[in-house]
Amino acid sequence: MSDLSKQISAQIQQAADQNSAVRIQGGNSKAFYSRALDGSLDLVDVSGHTGVVNYEPTELVLTARAGTTIQELSETLGEKNQHLAFDPPVLGGLATIGGTLASGFSGPCRPYLGSIRDHVLGTHIVNGNGDYLRFGGEVMKNVAGYDIARLMAGAMGTLGVIMQVSLKVLPKPQKEATLCFELAQGDALSMMRELGDSPIPVSGACFDNGRVYVRLSGSEVGVASASKTLGGETMSDGEAVWISLREFSHAFFDTELPIWRLSLPTQACPDLSGETLIDWGGQQWWLRSDAPIKEIQFAAAKAGGHATLFKGGDRSGEVFHPLSDTMMQLHENVRLSFDPKRILNPGAQYPS
């Protein structure tokens, strides 16, 4: 537990004064995800800025410094039978809450229980001028000022060094169960879509190699009655399926090929060449493929979504889906409003 707010603000102030760019790092567990940063840039190391600042179980709120690991948060919450409902990757205990927010990572429950951005209540950041700023707060509803706290989600550190995060936390479900069904892809997509047509407590649905896995989380009675309605085979080690997806430790991710992540509307069926693993009830497709970037981006866009070069491939090229000219201009304006000298993680998201 240590507070580096002063040091980090001072470091950014100095970098701004000297017009020298910096790269921001938490646990360094997601370096594979960003566009390549110039390794010679000065490092802003947030991993030492740690500690749970406030946790009040009856408020369903937890506030932690950005360098606190997801693992530590899960343990702290677990003691009170609560959890981070967006179920972020732990990545060998290295992932920090700041890095998780900057990357916008959420687990398999994303379509059902929301993403990290949905659970963020407030953030403290240091912007590109070195100003320490607080947005949002620790209450469930807050519309004072623009929602800068949520804007940090997925911004890849280009809008500020995330220093502190307040999150909505939830009680752990009483009961979980994973059901398995053998289905062809088309039927699998329909089935996963239909899960959302009735209010059953689904918290995960994926399609892997001819099988649909469905996770249920809720009250004893809720899970029992949903299991009965859905049928299928109840798995004894169901948890392993979800951990392997959340941690990218599933065999699918063990490859030399570039790994793509396609985010798509419900029941989209993009035209792809390469092996796929489908999560988020059909809304997140993992693809292993060395097909040309444009081809994959085109297929994703045609299906109404977008493609990210998640891991591997050319990290100095296009990693995130290209934006329209108007949107790119808007992004640049937004970025400059936080970081007028473009010193924070330049190029981590789009070429600087």
Partner 1 sequence: MNSPLVSESLDPAVFRQLHIDLAGILDRPNLLSESEEVTPYECDGLSAYRQRPMLVALPEDIDQLIAVVKTCHRHKVPIVARGAGTGLSGGALPLSNGVLLVLAKFNQILSIDQKGRTATVQPGVRNLAISEAVDQYGLYYAPDPSSQIACSIGGNVAENSGGVHCLKYGLTVHNILQLKVVTVTGELVTIGSKALDSPGFDLLALMTGSEGMLGIVVEVVVKLLPKPTHTSLVLAAFDSVEAAGHAVGGVISAGIIPAGLEMMDNFAIRATEDFAQCGYPIDAEAILLCEVDGTEDEALAQVDQVTAVMKHFRATEVRIAADEAERLLFWKGRKMAFPAMGRISADYYCIDGTIPRSQLPHVLNKMEEWSKEFDLRVANVFHAGDGNLHPLILFDANIPGELERTEEFAGKILDLCIEVGGTITGEHGVGIEKINQMCNQFSTTEIDQFHALKAAFDPNTLLNPGKAIPTLQRCAEHGAMHVHNGELPFPELERF
Check residue 237 for interaction with partner 1 (CB under 8 A).
no
Rounded least distance, CB 235 to partner 1, Å: 22
Beta strand 306-311 with 22-25 is unpaired
Q: Which of 83, 306, 315, 342 binds partner 1 (CB under 8 A)?
A: 306
Check residue 148 for interaction with partner 1 (CB under 8 A).
yes
For the segment 114-133, give every residue that binds partner 1 (CB under 8 A).
Answer: 114-115, 117-118, 127, 131-133
- Segment contacting partner 1 by CB under 8 A, of 27-35, 209-217, 270-278, 317-325: 317-325
Q: Which of 41, 170, 180, 183 binds partner 1 (CB under 8 A)?
A: 170
Rounded least distance, CB 8 to partner 1, Å: 16
For the segment 186-225, give every residue that binds partner 1 (CB under 8 A).
Answer: 193, 196-201, 218-222, 224-225
Check residue 183 for interaction with partner 1 (CB under 8 A).
no
Rounded least distance, CB 91 to partner 1, Å: 19
**Going residue by residue from 266 to 305, which x/- string records binding to partner 1, judged by CB under 8 A?**
xx------------x--xx-------------------xx
For the segment 87-116, give every residue that binds partner 1 (CB under 8 A).
Answer: 104, 110-111, 114-115
Q: How many residues belong to the site for partner 1 (CB under 8 A)?
A: 86
Nearer to partner 1, 69 or 160 (CB): 160
Check residue 11 for interaction with partner 1 (CB under 8 A).
no
Check residue 135 for interaction with partner 1 (CB under 8 A).
yes
Nearer to partner 1, 67 or 281 (CB): 281
For the segment 23-62, give every residue that binds partner 1 (CB under 8 A).
Answer: 56-61
